[in-house]
Amino acid sequence: MPARRAAGAAPAAGPPMAARTPPTVTTSLFAPQGFALTGVAQVPTVDGPLKVLVLKMRAASLRDYRLRTRARREQYGLAATSLDLRGDVTLYLTKFSGCIEGLLCVTFSPDGLPAPPPVVPPFVFMTQVSAEQARW
């Protein structure tokens, strides 16, 4: 016999779902500390698994941060002149592009990641960054 939930109780929480349309983050400067592209994973969505890049870092400073997202026909945004991330930060991205040290412009995707994944030196910064963020 299946277990019953109490009246008014919320259903058991499953893994967090990624957005159907990933929000886009842009920043004019991304200066991470202890940053590494650690590999590829899958995150759940209502449409099935989504392949993502996994980026990890101890901290990061971002300048001219912009986040844009869409829900149905509505568009939403969030902006900050600067944003500092601290702690063990993990980002799940469907696409990540920018210019390393402002010179070498690259784009990474889950299907275009070299093996083994590159480890980026801790002093590297990127400019003109654009990322499709599946989930924090």
Task: State pLDDT tens for residues 31-75.
Answer: 998 888 888 899 888 888 889 999 888 999 999 999 998 877 888
18 in any annotated domain: no
Least Cα distance to 60 among 94, 87, 100 occurs for: 87
User: How many other C-beta atoms are found inside a 10 Å radius of the C-beta of residue 133?
Assistant: 20
In this prediction, residue 7 carries a pLDDT of 53
3-class secondary structure, 118: coil
76 in any annotated domain: yes
In this prediction, residue 28 carries a pLDDT of 97
Query: With 80 as the cut, is the pLDDT of residue 97 above it?
Result: yes
122 in any annotated domain: yes
- Cβ atoms 57, 35 nearer than 8 A: yes
The mean per-residue pLDDT over the stretch 103-108 comes to 87
2 in any annotated domain: no
Average pLDDT over all residues of the chain: 81
Q: Considering the entire predicted model, what is its pTM?
A: 0.76
The mean per-residue pLDDT over the stretch 75-100 comes to 92
7 in any annotated domain: no
Number of separate domains in the chain = 1
Tokens representing 7?
């009246």
Measured in Å, how far apart are the chain's first and last C-alpha atoms? 38
Q: Is the peptide bond before 117 cis (omega within 30 degrees of 0)?
A: no
Least Cα distance to 93 among 124, 33, 51, 65 occurs for: 51
Confidence of residue 21 (pLDDT cuts 50, 70, 90): confident
12 in any annotated domain: no
In this prediction, residue 15 carries a pLDDT of 59
The CA-based angle 125-128-132, given to 5 degrees, is: 100
6 in any annotated domain: no
Domain membership of residue 123 as a residue range: 24-135
15 in any annotated domain: no
* C-alpha–C-alpha distance, residues 92 and 16, integer Å: 12
* C-alpha–C-alpha distance, residues 88 and 34, integer Å: 10
* C-alpha–C-alpha distance, residues 88 and 21, integer Å: 25
